[in-house]
């Protein structure tokens, strides 16, 4: 029979979603984005707001798939899809600023969060390609 202490030690060695900095940073991006889009005009709720949230949550799903994937090819596929979602989010953020739904300060903060996640993602993609 398996020793419960041994099982606990093995579980602690595996990276969980919450232990990865990119996962934590991505959740921070989701929290910030959701706070911002609540202030958008109601006429945008079914267009730009919906697209922003879709990009965020599809990206989160791809991030989770990449974390759980052991196959390098699959991991790179999910990481590249996440990169595409982040690029879409950059465009949507620019549109939000252009249409004056957000302030300059909101735009800078939001862009900074997206850039942080993109930089972490770029490093992860490069490390996967080297292996």
| Beta carbons within 8 Å of 112's beta carbon, 6+ residues apart | none
Angle (CA) 98 103 109, round 5°: 105
Please answer whether residues 111 and 93 qualify as being in contact, where contact means their C-beta atoms are separated by less than 8 angstroms.
Answer: yes
pTM score, two decimals?
A: 0.83
Please give the CATH number for the structural domain made up of 45-131.
Answer: 1.20.1440.60
- Over its length of 131 residues, how does the chain's per-residue pLDDT go in tens digits? 455 455 444 444 445 555 589 999 999 999 999 999 999 999 988 899 999 999 999 999 999 999 999 999 999 999 999 999 999 999 999 999 999 999 999 999 999 999 999 999 999 999 998 86
Each domain of the chain, given as residue ranges in start order, spans 45-131
Please answer whether residues 107 and 93 qualify as being in contact, where contact means their C-beta atoms are separated by less than 8 angstroms.
Answer: yes
For 98, 106, 112, 121, the CA distances from 39, given in Å and listed in that order, are: 15, 11, 20, 29
């Amino acid at each position: 029979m398996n020793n419960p202490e041994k099982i606990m030690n093995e579980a602690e060695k595996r990276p969980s979603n919450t232990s990865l900095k990119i996962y934590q940073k991505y959740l921070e991006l989701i929290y910030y984005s959701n706070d911002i889009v609540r202030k958008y005009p109601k006429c945008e709720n079914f267009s730009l707001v919906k697209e922003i949230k879709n990009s965020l949550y599809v990206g989160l799903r791809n991030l989770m798939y990449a974390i759980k994937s052991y196959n390098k090819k699959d991991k790179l596929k999910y990481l590249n899809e996440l990169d595409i979602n982040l690029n879409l989010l950059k465009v949507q953020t620019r549109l939000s600023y252009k249409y004056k739904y957000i302030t300059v300060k909101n735009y800078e903060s939001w862009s900074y969060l997206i850039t942080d996640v993109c930089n972490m993602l770029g490093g992860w993609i490069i490390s996967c390609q080297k292996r």
